[in-house]
Structure 1
Amino acid sequence: MGIPAIAAHMFVFYYAMFANLTPPVALASFAAAGVSGGDPMKTGVQSVKLALAGFIVPYMFVYNTALLSIDTTAAITIRVIITSMIGVFMIGVATEGFFIKKVNFFLRIIVFAAALLMISANVYQDFMGLAVLAALIIVQRIKKPVTTV
């Protein structure tokens, strides 16, 4: 399939670690629910929502092997790590719906799409994702706060 063996192994290993987080297995989530006295399934679902950005990381290993320092230079590896971290952050913003202020549904979709652009090793797609993040920062700073009387 053209995927390096280490990337395939990391893909499988990473998702094996997520078994402790996602229902119906969710050992970590169920233990947390037991400690807090909460509902185990609700805790499991909330943990999946909070960790949604982490589910994209294994695909980054496959689509961008520079993230694993395979056949690349140090400069490219550093760039890929930085843009991947920004992409994961943007997925978190899109999932939770909050950045500097609350993010509306339309902007959340745009931010999520821009975050997915940052998965590949393409520099131009990274710049498009960063441009969307910059636009979101500007929109969030300019947007006037809603006040109540």
Structure 2
Amino acid sequence: FLITATMAAPALIQLGIPAIAAHMFVFYYAMFANLTPPVALASFAAAGVSGGDPMKTGVQSVKLALAGFIVPYMFVYNTALLSIDTTAAITIRVIITSMLGVFMIGAATEGFFIKKMNLFLRVIVFAAALFMISESVYQDFIGLAILIALIIIQKIKKPATTA
């Protein structure tokens, strides 16, 4: 983190990003070094414990953590997550909708919400997640409406029968 912070944070701050947001961005990505190949220390340790292939484990860990790669950008573009120049009510709303958005990105990536999703639903859920992680209350409502529609669709959808 220290090396990354001394190199990247000043550049981000010069771009007009608040210092705390710049450092959270850098900190978050520095922590992903443990997850992503070729370093992937946490993934390689998990592969050693499970007896799995280290590179396959690293790639799978990146797929599972895909939503996490968007979080640092949320700190930069939506500083209400860090309670910068905002009210408590807005911060709470942004945190809740951002958490739902990250959850929805995970669901879209894995292809499963309540039930398995087809490619079309996965794309729709991913788009709704992007609405949810923005700072606009109107986009949050659009994302919530799509989430509610998805829940309804998944609840009433009948499972495929096999003969």
Regarding TM over 0.5, the answer is yes
Distance 1:25 1:113 in 2: 31
Counterpart check, 1:142 vs 2:153: no
1:111-140 Cα shifts (integer Å, max 9, x gaps): 101111122210000001111101111111
Please, what TM-score do these two structures have when normalized by structure 1?
0.97
Q: Secondary structure at the match of 1:49?
A: helix
What residue number does 2:72 align with? 58
- Residue aligned with 1:82, SS: helix
CA distance in 1, matches of 2:138, 2:55: 41
Cα distance in 2 for partners of 1:143, 1:33 equals 37
Encode CA deviations 1:72-124: one digit per residue, 9 max, x unaligned.
11111100100000000100110000011100001101110111112221000
Q: One-letter code of the match for 1:139?
A: I
**Kindly, what percent of the aligned residue pairs are identical?**
89
Return the structure number with greater relative CO, CA threshold 8 A, min gap 6: 1
Task: Count how many residue pairs are aligned between Structure 1 and Structure 2.
Answer: 149
Instruction: Name the structure 1 match of 2:52.
Output: 38
2-side partners of 1:45 and 1:144: how far apart?
A: 33
> Is the Cα–Cα contact under 8 Å of residues 15 and 58 in structure 1 kept in the other structure?
yes
Give, in whole Å, the separation in 1 of the partners of 2:149 and 2:28.
Answer: 32
Structure 2 counterpart of 1:11: 25
Q: What residue ranges of structure 2 are gaps of 5+ in the alignment?
A: 1-14
Show the counterpart of 1:110. Answer: 124
Distance 1:73 1:6 in 2: 17
Is the contact between residue 98 and residue 132 of structure 2 (CA under 8 Å) also seen in structure 1?
A: yes
Correspondence list, 1:26-105, <5 A: 26-105=40-119
Question: 1:147 deviation in Å?
Answer: 1.8
Secondary structure in 2 matching 1:71: coil
Q: Is the 8 A contact 2:102 2:133 kept in 1?
A: no
> Unaligned regions of 5+ residues in structure 1, if any?
none
CA distance in 1 between partners of 2:21 and 2:40 (Å) = 25
Aligned equivalents of 1:3 and 1:126: distance in 2? 23
Runs of 4+ in structure 1 deviating by more than 6 angstroms, as ranges, are none
